[in-house]
Structure formats: C-alpha cells, structure tokens
Structure 1
C-alpha cells in the first residue's frame, strides 16, 4: 500500500516563490510520492494577500492553515506539525521552506533514507551552500559556538522528514516551539541525515537579515540552555582556578620583593573581583535554568489551537 506524504511549508508573504515551488515539486518529486502527497501550507499571518491562484498541484490537495498572528518560522512549523498529527493521516511528513532553497528533488533522497532508517527523523544536511562568504563565515562560527556551548553538533536546518511513528512524540517536545532542529536534538528522538546542496531562492528577497540570523542561532543554543549553563559554570570555575594561581604568584613576587609597588595589589584585587563576578553570575544562571525546568512548559500538540484562525482546502 502506498505511503501518504504531507509536505508542511511555512510561509510569510512568499506567495510568488511558493507557486514556483509547487511547480518544482510537480516536476522533481517521484511520481509514486507525488500522487500521494498533500501540501500543507502554514500562512504565518501574511500581511499581503495572495493575488494569484495556486499553481496546479499534481498531488492530492493543498491545505492552507492561517494563523491569527505572525509567530515566526519555528512556531509556524510546530503548529503545522501539531495540526497534521491530529487531523491528517500521514505516513511521512516533510518540513521545508517556501522560498525554494530546499530543493524538492531532495525529498526523494529523504524518503529513500527513511526506508533504510524507518524509526528516525531524516534531516537534509548541507553539503554545499549558496550564500555569500560573510554568511558562510558566520555560519561556521555559529556551528563552533554551538559545539562549544552545548557539546552537540548541528549541521542541518528545518528541511527534514518525520516518520509517522515519531510525529506524536515530536509534537509533545516543547522545545520545537523555540527551535525545531534544536528541539529534536534536545528530545533525543533518533535522527539521521543525508547530504544535499542548498538551492537558490525562486523569487523575492530573503526576510532573514543579520539580526534575525543571530537570534535564530541563539534560539538553537537556548534550547539546550541547561547544558550550556553547566558548561559556562565549569568554564568559570576553571578560570577562577587560573585567577587564584595568578594571585598566589603575585603574592609570591610581593613577598620576595620583585613586585612593582601598587601593581601587585591592583592586579590581585582586579582578578579577585572578576573571579567572584563570573562565578556568581554562572551559578545564578544554573539556578535560573533549574527553576525553569520545574515549570510547566508550552506543549505544541496541546496549545497550538489557540493560534489557528482557519484551514482552507484547495483541490
């Protein structure tokens, strides 16, 4: 029996690119997948109305879920997943962007790997990026910081395949509300990846500026904030040990008479103040995280309905 696919596409004012993407899905998706696919578009409360009808879709149907307010890309994905988990029978769910930078042909690769790894979420790992040198440089820095602060490696974005047997688990992971790939890493749901090349935007201008990119990176790190806080505390303790060693050395120089008058006491007191400040701030951060873990969290599968305005179907 053929598997049912649902492609979740969050979009905000990207109607032109979305129409071109539908045409590429028709052309690039394997026929056996396309004919059993539903397009599920999450309209993130676009400020511009759709002026053109949707391109003819070669699959089953197009559904458009409109949100009451603009929530951002990650939350739109979480709501789309939650709605599909409750209302649409799907064996495989694909998450991809509307701008065309996630190539529809790569869905075939994700589906193929999913057959080999049926119990895992499959991500599209970027083998080659098309952005400018500045963006790629900051992306490398982001991956290094993510590894340093969380101890995890992140080499993928939102483009992924979620099997039906993991969907109900995923929509109860509160962290996907903040960052989808980070939430999956935190949840310990098993995942794998396939190498893909990022395509070029089909139409319009990217709404992602430098500030947005920084916020997106910080949101991914914040999902693993408990690990990050402990790592910062350990680093603070290590640096405090280094500071104490310097203070002991300064005292030794002062005792043998080799320290410049006033220099030893100034440097020693400065190191002591910095050591205490960094340690206390790190300790406060750890306690804040522990307090946060004791609170009730936002569960997408339970709370998503508050943001859904309507769902329209186009055949």
Structure 2
C-alpha cells in the first residue's frame, strides 16, 4: 500500500531531472513505507520526457504523466493530485529550489496530526532585490485582499493528507491557484521554515510576466475586492465630477479672471475619467473571462502518455 506520493511538475527541466531523482531517492530510503513519485511533463520541448521514461524503466516507483501540450504549472500540479494513491501527498518543484530533504520534517509534522504542512521561506538565496521585493509585496497584498488567510512567503511546496487532496480533487474550477485553495479548505495546518536555494541548473521558468499572471489569478480567484474597488473608484470619480461642477460655476460666475479654467482642466478630467473606466472594464474582464472559461466545460488538460498505460 502506497503511503507517500510525491508530485513534481516538470517543464523543460532536462538538466535537473537526474540530480532531482538522486536526492529524491535518498529521501525515499529514509521514509517508512512505500513511496511513489509522479512526474508530470507539462508539454516539455526538451528531453525531459526521455529522461522520465528512462528513470521509470529503472525504478518502477517513479511514474509519469505527459501532457499533449503545455497547460501551465498549476494544472500540472492538479493532474498529479488526480493520480496519487498515497495516504499523504507532497508537492514540490523540479528545479531543486524546494529541497527534497525537507520532506522528512514535513512528514514528522504530519505524524503529529497536521493535515497540511507548507514550506515557508525565510530567505531567498541569490535572488535580486527587485524579485524579493515583488514577492514580499505580493504575499502581503494577497493576505489583505483574500477572503481566506494565506500564509506569507509560501509556495506550492507542501505536504497534504489524503483527506485534503480528495477535497481539492472534488473542486471543479479551472483557474486554479493551489496554495490559495489549500488555505481555503481548512484543516489543521502548520509551517516548516527553510532557506530557498537557487535553481540547480537551467533557466528560470517563471518570468516576470508569468509571475504577474499568477499573482492576478491568485487575487481574482480568492477575492471580490477588485470588484469592490471598481465601485469605490466610481464613487470617487462621481464625487470629483460634482466638485468640478461647482468649481466651474464659481469660476464662470464669480472669479472670471482665473487661469485654471479651459482646455487644460477639461483634458485632465477626460483622462481621469477615461482611466477609471478602463481600469473598471479590465477588472470586470478578468472575472468575466473566468466565467467564460468555466462555462465552456472543456477538460483542464489532455494527456498523451502515461507510464505503464495506467
């Protein structure tokens, strides 16, 4: 009977797979009970799938799923969760910034009764100040805006009990933000702190654009505050418009010599109202786009190959 399942999404990680496997095996040998590893190939264009097949032939504890195309990191994690068989599931990345050795500490917390154990970063080695600042700011803003309490400085690296995984698998939504859903489901949760290592090899997959997209997805998935912001901006712009009416009447009827009235004031007002309208339309578009994705009812991923034809 499988006790531990380790889910690892992979996208163009050919330079990391062998070292990742070596370190994972060292951890597996220290765990008491049968362990499986599920590698999810997210439509890689390099030799990642080749190495996954090679490792599977050598070690049947290693299973793999290969997508028909790239569907994204969060969907790859979701697919892995759909295929696990263990009593407890660990999710981690393949770039070794998530140290596999921390799994032992997570398992110890699980044995003490915690159903979710998340890894919390206390430092980021060899990352530039801009990325550290953006990450720090995002997690604090998300905690303020989200409807649930999401721990700061936590990623997808975590351990989850089977009961938690079953709840996540029962959720039908398509735009998934795993660390947010993990907080939303509840259960007993605790943190294991660690220093995040730099990427072992290869290029970083989460560019600024992808990180920004993930941040927007997290906020929209877990908060209605952006919609309320549109309402507040509408109230503010209406208040400013009313004040400007009184000001223009005053200048026209009483202070005829004022230099403030004319095309400059009109241009500023137009740009202000136009920006508010476009911002509100953008916010509405984000939510409507997600409704559009949900009602289409397409599968969230397609699989071209599974190890052992399972």
Decide: shared fold, TM above 0.5. yes
Superposition pairs for residues 191-206 of structure 1, below 5 Å?
A: 191-206=189-204
Aligned mate of 1:184, from 182, 185, 189: 182
CA distance in 1, matches of 2:241, 2:295: 39
TM-score (norm 1): 0.77
Task: Report the CA distance between 1:169 and its aligned residue.
Answer: 1.2
Q: Is the counterpart of residue 40 in structure 1 residue 41 in structure 2? A: no
CA distance in 2, matches of 1:295, 1:73: 17
Q: Report which stretch shifted further, 137-146 or 244-253.
A: 244-253
Aligned mate of 2:119, from 114, 120, 124: 124
Superposition pairs for residues 23-34 of structure 1, below 5 Å?
A: 23-28=22-27, 31-33=30-32
Q: 2:28·2:35 contact (CA, 8 Å) conserved in 1?
A: no
CA distance in 2, matches of 1:38, 1:281: 47
Secondary structure at the counterpart of residue 194 of structure 2:
strand
Secondary structure at the counterpart of residue 9 of structure 2:
strand
CA distance in 2, matches of 1:194, 1:259: 68
Q: Is the counterpart of residue 11 in structure 1 residue 7 in structure 2? A: no
Q: 1:123·1:161 contact (CA, 8 Å) conserved in 2?
A: yes
Q: 1:218/1:255 Cα in 2 relative to 1: closer, same or farther (>3 Å)?
A: same
TM-score (norm 2): 0.78
Give 5+ residue unaligned stretches, structure 2.
none
Q: 1:202/1:288 Cα in 2 relative to 1: closer, same or farther (>3 Å)?
A: closer
Task: Report the CA distance between 1:157 and its aligned residue.
Answer: 1.2
Aligned mate of 2:210, from 193, 207, 212: 212
Q: Report which stretch shifted further, 260-269 or 224-233.
A: 260-269
Superposition pairs for residues 213-252 of structure 1, below 5 Å?
A: 213-224=211-222, 226-238=224-236, 240-242=238-240, 244-245=242-243, 248=246, 251-252=249-250
Deviations for 1:88-144, whole angstroms, at most 9, x for unmatched residues?
2x11111100111101121122223333454x4322111111222221122233334
Give 5+ residue unaligned stretches, structure 1.
none
How many residues matched?
302
Q: Which residue of 2 aligns with 1:140?
A: 136
Task: Report the CA distance between 1:251 and its aligned residue.
Answer: 4.7
Q: Is the counterpart of residue 63 in structure 1 residue 59 in structure 2? A: no
Q: Is the counterpart of residue 91 in structure 1 residue 87 in structure 2? A: yes
Q: 1:298/1:144 Cα in 2 relative to 1: closer, same or farther (>3 Å)?
A: farther
Q: 1:113/1:178 Cα in 2 relative to 1: closer, same or farther (>3 Å)?
A: same
RMSD: 3.8
Q: Which residue of 2 aligns with 1:173?
A: 171
Q: 1:20/1:250 Cα in 2 relative to 1: closer, same or farther (>3 Å)?
A: same
